[in-house]
A and B are shown apart, each in its own frame.
Chain A
Amino acid sequence: QVQLVQSGGGVVQPGKSLRLSCAASGFTLGIYAMYWVRQAPGKGLEWVASISHDGGNINYGDSVRGRVTVSRDNSRNTLYLQVNSLRDEDTAVYFCAADVAPMSTLKYAMDVWGQGTSVTVSS
């Protein structure tokens, strides 16, 4: 069964850090570009970060650039998102997702999604 299983969310104080994980099963994560997308409560989707299949091409959204780091360990079939200096506006459900196309072709289209993990920034 092709799936992405996420972990690492929770309630975090402002200014603290958090690392989210996204483990693939049923497919080889290492041949797909991967994405992080978030959704604030009652709001729409917001692209956070993308990383190419080999980690050589990384990009971040304007609202998080400088505070987040996306990385991957293809040997562990796992994607990560490190979020630092958390702010109230980072409160959201974070989704990881795999590109629809394998290898170097980034379609910027997300075909396999994780279940989402909730991050709440609160003192």
Chain B
Amino acid sequence: QSALTQPASVSGSPGQSITISCTGTSRDIGSYQHVSWYQQHPGKAPKLMIYDVTSRPSGVSNRFTGFRSGNTASLTISGLLAEDEATYYCSSYSSRSSLLVFGGGTNLTVL
């Protein structure tokens, strides 16, 4: 069981917006800036999409937006494209003995 809770799947049509939630606790998401989001296509390495809750690495589309409210972080993807279909993972620094925890992943289907 993952330390962070994500929905197993979400879906949307091309052009629409979707939001993926990632729920943690005051020992991780609620207390630290180091919240990240990754996109992973099958058989590929993950790709960093968001770090420090809201920051986008160079080269990542501004269609990807991160934010946080309390112990829950969220990733919004606007203007859905077929290429956005992938699995998305959240991660957070944690005060637990394992310093970095991940969510279980959310499969995004673009209908």
Contacts and interface: CB of A to CB of B under 8 A. Distances in A.
Contacts of B92: 108
- What DSSP secondary structure best describes chain A's contact surface? strand
A110 B89 contact: no
Contacts of B100: 35, 47, 50, 61, 108
Interface of B: 2, 34, 36, 38, 40, 45-48, 51-52, 57, 89, 91-93, 97-105
A109 interface: yes
Nearest to B40: A45
Contacts, number: 67
Contacts of B52: 107, 109
B102 A113 contact: no
Interface of A: 35, 37, 44-47, 50, 59, 61-62, 65, 95, 97, 100, 106-111, 113-116
Contacts of B105: 44-45
Given A45-B91, A47-B100, A108-B99, 12 more contacts: A44-B2, A44-B89, A44-B104, A44-B105, A45-B102, A61-B100, A100-B51, A106-B34, A109-B36, A109-B52, A110-B36, A110-B38
